[in-house]
A and B are shown apart, each in its own frame.
Chain A
Amino acid sequence: MALKGNLRDFSITQLLNLVNLACKTGTLVIEGPGDVAQISFREGKLAYAQLGHHDNTLAGILRRNRKISARQYAILQERAQNMGDKELGLLLINAGYLTQTDIIDSLQQYFIAIVRQLFTWVEGFFHFDTNKFSPSDKIPIRMDLENLIIEGSRQLREWEQLQQEIPSLDMSLKFMDRPGTNIRNVNLSVEEWRVVSYVNPKNTMRQIAQTTKLNELEIRRVVYALLQAGLVEIIRPGNAPVAIQPRAFPTTDKKEQKSLVNRIIDRIRAI
């Protein structure tokens, strides 16, 4: 049976565990909230990872890891445009610019970062393609999955707790009325400031997440910190006042509705 489904039912950590235990070879393709990720495995080990259309060329990865300078990167972009990663890697090693370890370490860090990002995806369709391998011009690595699985499990627990704390993102936030508290005196991260700037009863947490490009885990993480610090509280969108549901009463007549509640009150008092 094909290995496919939704991350809502089968998490990334569970998928990694399955690949690890079954020593699977192939590529896991995940269509996430705004990106597609491809993670290739060889006999249960991580071999390659790619996220959307991010620059995953060896030159780009080495530049991000500060293994080469901006100038070297520009030269490589210009002169080694048609060169595959394997060929470029050999060239850099033979020319004495880098060692094999430098290259493998950089690739490992890059692939791990992608998998870590996937841990924050809570929904998205996935399928495991046993006939698809890492692209032939890319340098595959061979990395055990155990540490990543443990890290993912920790995040899963965090996700479950955060989901319990903030079950619905369709609610809004408002600043707490606490005299003496000045939010400017609180040390907030850039991400937290971005969310704080959109705190308004008119904006739901989902809208804030979309605007600030945070996923469901990230927005919950930020909001939870703000809640714990007593800076914000969760309210209904637009600060809608409490109201009786239209279908709560068998009648629409306001007087009759009031009489009905008073009759229930009298009855309960008499029990």
Chain B
Amino acid sequence: MQTVKIVVTGPFSAGKTEFIRSVSEIDVVSTERKISAEAEKIKESTTVAMDFGRITVDAELVLYLFGTPGQRRFDFMWEILSEGMLGFIVMVDSVRPETFREARSILETFRAYAPTPYVVAANKQDLEDAWDLDDMRVALRLDPNVKFLPCVAHDKESVKKVLLELLYTILAEMESGNKA
């Protein structure tokens, strides 16, 4: 059996676990713990080590989806999880601009690990308070060449679109790499 992996990262409460849950064929193996810090109690629990989802491609190939912990104090897991990844997705919460700086920081950290293909997903675009994608692109200081996609993590079709865009990017990189 061959395996490949894609990493889903982003700040605390960006929707990484939900994203993986939407497409994983198994119940997401999650390392969620109750949140103790008052300041971070915008949800009941958070991922402390990783989330783990699976998509069986065929009899010989499995795609694993790894979600990183969003809180900075668990960032020692990031480099471990990024080892050997096919590409990564940075999830950003479109209604919480206070997390944009953290998202930028996570993106820069992952870019520093390896020159791996990635896309950025603006989650919660279905909400009324969601920031406009163009404004978010500027706030996140994203290069115009980086794919920045609207996303709703609990909507399977939306998640599929983000995953497919990452895979198209990977394919394009492979083709341009072959030409070089």
Residues in chain A within 8 A of chain B (CB atoms): 161, 164-168, 170-171, 227, 233-234, 236, 240-245, 247-251, 254, 257-258, 260-265, 267-269, 271
Residue of B nearest to A265 (CB): B167
Residue of B nearest to A257 (CB): B174
Chain A residues near B174 (CB, 8 Å)? 244, 254, 257-258, 261
Do A264 and B84 contact each other (CB < 8 Å), given the known contacts A242-B117, A242-B173, A271-B160? no
The reply to whether the CB of B154 lies closer than 8 angstroms to some CB of chain A is no
Complex: how many Å from CA A260 to CA B85?
14
Chain A residues near B33 (CB, 8 Å)? none
Chain B residues near A170 (CB, 8 Å)? 112
Asked if B167 contacts A243 (CB within 8 A), the reply is no
How many B residues touch A, CB cutoff 8 Å? 45
Chain B residues near A243 (CB, 8 Å)? 115-116, 173, 177
Complex: how many Å from CA A247 to CA B83?
8
Chain A residues near B167 (CB, 8 Å)? 261, 264-265, 268
Task: Give the contacting residue for A244; candidates B5, B104, B108, B177; CB below 8 A.
Answer: B177
Asked if A244 contacts B55 (CB within 8 A), the reply is no
Do A245 and B114 contact each other (CB < 8 Å), given the known contacts A234-B108, A250-B2, A263-B57? yes
The reply to whether the CB of B170 lies closer than 8 angstroms to some CB of chain A is yes
Binary A-proximity of B53-75 (CB < 8 A = 1, otherwise 0):
00111100101000000000000
The reply to whether the CB of B77 lies closer than 8 angstroms to some CB of chain A is no
CB distance from A173 to the nearest CB of B (A): 12
Asked if A263 contacts B58 (CB within 8 A), the reply is yes
Asked if A167 contacts B105 (CB within 8 A), the reply is yes
The reply to whether the CB of B136 lies closer than 8 angstroms to some CB of chain A is no
